């Protein structure tokens, strides 16, 4: 929810409270990631997606009517849980359909479709937000219902694991023994702390520069447009390389791109920073999910995807509150920290991917 922080600050809440609000959505994301991976394996991919979409529509409409800060936090957490429940299931379903070997380009195609809408979505959202945030929540609910209907009518069920006799937490224990996977999770967490500044402190930076909400919406739409134009070309080229170095380079671009925000105050400069961190996203995102698909046992695929999504969720939970805290005290320190986290994430993956001699 990129516009949540603007909604809260416009409603009279402080920057710190707005960061907590975005963090509440992240808390829901954490719950959804763990639960969504379990449900994807237990009840099937399609059923999980349908449940997510209709629950999300109801939660968003309820959130639009919340007025007190405690009620906003509770409903934001519920909205995060409902809206993000589908992610492990959708990732697992895509791998079910194409197989792990074709998953890199398949995820590139998937992201291409998502960003066709994302290129126009934030700009439209910014236009609506300048008039009434209720229109924004209602529009989100309508699109969730449409997705749910499409899932019922058109999506296949996908794999469903036989979990009879399986020990509690067996998938997590198996994943914890995979050093490369654990390092990937740690590096992804560092980078995700940076990624979620896009919907929090980046919005505040644009606002502090004296620019209206629609400019922020256009900048976020630039991200989607760049992905539409270039990600498939980049993915087609980099899929021939080993996963970890490509992901590491993407994380580095992400950190550097957000670090450059410290020096960007006019629209052209801000647009240039978006180019840098979008390159990072285009390099890393399809590769990450495809890499998880390749190393996950088939019967645990949904839960491995869930563990990766939990990592993103923790970044959403902690990134905005920590970011807004630093923003309020020392904005330059915030952007320097983003650069440092990008470097740390890249170094972690480069260390793991370095060939070992016997």
Q: Does any domain span residue 164?
A: no
Number of domains in the chain: 1
* Cα-Cα end-to-end distance for the chain: 48
Q: Among 88-92, 100-104, 305-309, which stretch is predicted with the lowest mean pLDDT?
A: 100-104
Q: Please give the pLDDT value at position 357.
A: 40
Q: Please give the pLDDT value at position 356.
A: 45
Q: Does any domain span residue 31?
A: yes
CATH number at residue 41: 1.20.1250.20
- Please count the residues of the chain: 358
Q: Which structural domain range is residue 294 located in?
A: 4-154+169-353
Q: Does any domain span residue 345?
A: yes
Q: Please give the pLDDT value at position 221.
A: 81
Q: Please give the pLDDT value at position 118.
A: 66
Model confidence pLDDT, tens digit, residues 136-150: 888 889 889 999 999
Model confidence pLDDT, tens digit, residues 208-251: 888 887 888 889 888 888 988 898 899 889 888 888 899 999 99
Q: Phi/psi class of residue 66: alpha, beta or left (left: φ > 0; alpha: ψ in -120 to 50)?
A: beta
- Residue environment code for 178-208, b if the CB has 16+ CB neighbours within 10 A, otherwise e: eeebebbbbbbbbbbbbbbbbbbbbbbbbbe
> What whole-number distance in Å separates Cα of residue 77 and Cα of residue 97?
32
Q: Does any domain span residue 163?
A: no
Q: Please give the pLDDT value at position 96.
A: 84
Contact indicator for 348, 187 with CB cutoff of 8 Å:
yes
Q: Does any domain span residue 358?
A: no
Average pLDDT of the residues in 128-142 = 80
Q: Please give the pLDDT value at position 1.
A: 58
Check pLDDT > 80 for residue 358: no
Tell whether pTM > 0.85. no
Query: 80 Cβ partners below 8 Å, 6+ apart?
Result: 1, 24, 25, 26, 27, 28, 29, 31, 32, 316
> What whole-number distance in Å separates Cα of residue 20 and Cα of residue 24?
6
Q: Does any domain span residue 199?
A: yes
Contact indicator for 306, 124 with CB cutoff of 8 Å:
no
pLDDT band with cut points at 50, 70 and 90 for residue 122: low
Q: Please give the pLDDT value at position 167.
A: 64
> What whole-number distance in Å separates Cα of residue 322 and Cα of residue 197?
10
> What whole-number distance in Å separates Cα of residue 62 and Cα of residue 66?
7
Q: Please give the pLDDT value at position 327.
A: 93
pLDDT, averaged across the chain = 85
Instruction: Give the CB-side neighbour count of residue 17, counting CA atoms within 13 A.
Output: 14
- Highest average pLDDT, of 35-49, 250-264, 321-335, comes from 250-264
Model confidence pLDDT, tens digit, residues 13-63: 887 788 788 778 878 888 888 888 888 888 888 999 999 999 999 999 998
Q: Does any domain span residue 162?
A: no
Q: Does any domain span residue 160?
A: no
């Amino acid at each position: 929810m990129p516009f949540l922080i603007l909604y809260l600050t416009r409603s009279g809440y402080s920057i710190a409270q707005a960061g907590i609000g975005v963090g509440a959505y992240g808390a829901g994301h954490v719950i959804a990631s763990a639960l969504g991976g379990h449900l994807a394996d237990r009840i099937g991919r399609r059923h999980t997606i349908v449940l997510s979409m209709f629950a999300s529509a109801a939660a968003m409409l309820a959130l639009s009517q919340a007025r007190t800060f405690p009620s906003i936090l509770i409903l934001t957490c519920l909205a995060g849980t409902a809206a993000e429940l589908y992610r492990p299931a959708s990732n697992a379903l895509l791998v079910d359909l194409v197989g792990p070997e074709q998953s890199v380009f398949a995820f590139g195609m998937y992201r291409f479709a998502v960003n066709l809408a994302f290129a126009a979505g934030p700009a439209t959202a910014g236009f609506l937000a300048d008039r009434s945030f209720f229109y924004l929540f209602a529009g989100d609910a309508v699109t969730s219902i449409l997705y749910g209907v499409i899932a019922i009518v058109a999506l296949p069920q996908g794999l469903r694991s036989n979990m009879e006799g399986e020990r509690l937490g067996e998938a997590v224990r198996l994943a914890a023994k995979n050093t490369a996977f654990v390092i990937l999770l740690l590096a992804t967490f560092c980078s995700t702390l940076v990624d979620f500044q896009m919907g929090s402190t980046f919005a505040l930076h644009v606002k502090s520069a004296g620019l209206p909400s629609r400019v922020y919406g256009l900048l976020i739409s630039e991200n989607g447009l760049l992905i539409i134009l270039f990600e498939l070309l980049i993915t087609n080229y980099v899929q021939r390389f080993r996963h970890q170095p490509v992901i590491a380079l993407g994380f580095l671009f992400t950190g550097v791109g957000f670090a450059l925000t410290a020096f960007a105050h006019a629209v052209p400069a801000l647009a240039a920073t978006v180019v840098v961190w979008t390159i990072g996203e285009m390099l890393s995102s399809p590769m990450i999910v495809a890499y998880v698909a390749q190393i996950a046992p088939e019967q645990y695929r949904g839960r491995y995807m869930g563990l990766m999504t939990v990592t993103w969720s923790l970044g959403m939970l902690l990134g905005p509150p920590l970011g807004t805290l630093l923003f309020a005290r020392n904005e330059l320190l915030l952007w320097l920290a983003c650069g440092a986290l990008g470097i740390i994430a890249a170094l972690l993956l480069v260390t793991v991917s370095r060939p070992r001699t016997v």
